Amino acid sequence: MQRSKAALPESGSRASLARFAWISIAASIITIALKSSAYLLTNSVGFLSDAVESLVNLVAGVMALAMLTVAARPPDEDHAYGHSKAEYFSSTTEGILILIAAGGIIFTAIQRFFNPQPLEQLGIGLVVSAAASVVNFAAARILLRAGKRENSITLEADAHHLMTDVWTSVGIISGVGIVALTNWQMLDPLIAIVVGLNIVWTAGQLLRRSIAGLMDASLPSDELQLIENVMETHRGKGVEFHALRTRQSAARRFISVHMLVPGEWTVHDSHHIAENFEKDIRRELPDAIVHTHLEPIEDEISMRDINEK
């Protein structure tokens, strides 16, 4: 007997996340203007790389807004499980854009390393760049809190992207500040190269999570342990389990498992046991979509996996 019970997250709550993408877009526009000014004032390749990354942030923010809008659509006949996977397209695109930005930063820095140029008006350039970092930091913290609260990989990706921009700026401001004190011009491109390599690592982590979601990877080990704890509680009531399968689609978790119950139990009793099991799972993992398949424990074919022939 196949049954499932879960409440899909309300589309309205997901639609409200789009307003956070507007925060990212606004922050990117402000920082592009500030960092471009810093570059024009100083002629620093570090500040140029910082401005380029903010331009990538703007493109990523627009992509996030589009995908959050799609992900918020309710289930329909063609998408019975909703549209939440659209968020992974945004985070994957953002990871690729981060890589492209890092490549541009490193390429420009290497050119400047072999053709150093004097930096100008460093004082005001540092102040302008620092102001841009404050804007990015504030936006990143807002997005990260919302992403973790709503389990949105799109908002988390955007937040990490903005925080990467913050750390990029911190590194560049430090490097340019040292150049101002020591007049060692070679440090400017060296700092930009180090920052670019750090951005590559961040992009790799983001792409790994996005690809795992698109490939229907299992829930993380800590969440699997929560499921195991609930199953262990119900084993004490005479129930056995097998064929546990899990996957995550952005904010939604999908869990399916076969429940083996004594053959003498009535359908009514078995139904209530399954209801209690699903309720316990959702208490541990809110908004989980749980599918249970009831089978008699005495029947030898009950222990066959669904992939066995």
Q: What is the pLDDT of residue 8?
A: 46
- As annotated, the residues of the chain forming the CATH 1.20.1510.10 domain(s) are 2-214
Q: How confident is the model at residue 158 (pLDDT cuts 50, 70, 90)?
A: confident
Assigned superfamily of 2-214: Cation efflux protein transmembrane domain (1.20.1510.10)
Q: How confident is the model at residue 241 (pLDDT cuts 50, 70, 90)?
A: very high
- As annotated, the residues of the chain forming the CATH 3.30.70.1350 domain(s) are 221-303
Q: Which amino acid is at 137?
A: F
pLDDT tops 80 at residue 274: yes
Q: What is the pLDDT of residue 309?
A: 46
Q: What is the pLDDT of residue 217?
A: 78
pLDDT digits (tens, 9 = 90+) for 80-96: 777 777 777 777 877 88
Average pLDDT over residues 113-139: 79
Tell me what the pLDDT averaged over the chain comes to.
79
Q: How confident is the model at residue 9 (pLDDT cuts 50, 70, 90)?
A: very low
pLDDT digits (tens, 9 = 90+) for 29-65: 998 888 888 888 877 776 777 787 777 778 778 877 8
Overall CATH class of domain 221-303: alpha beta
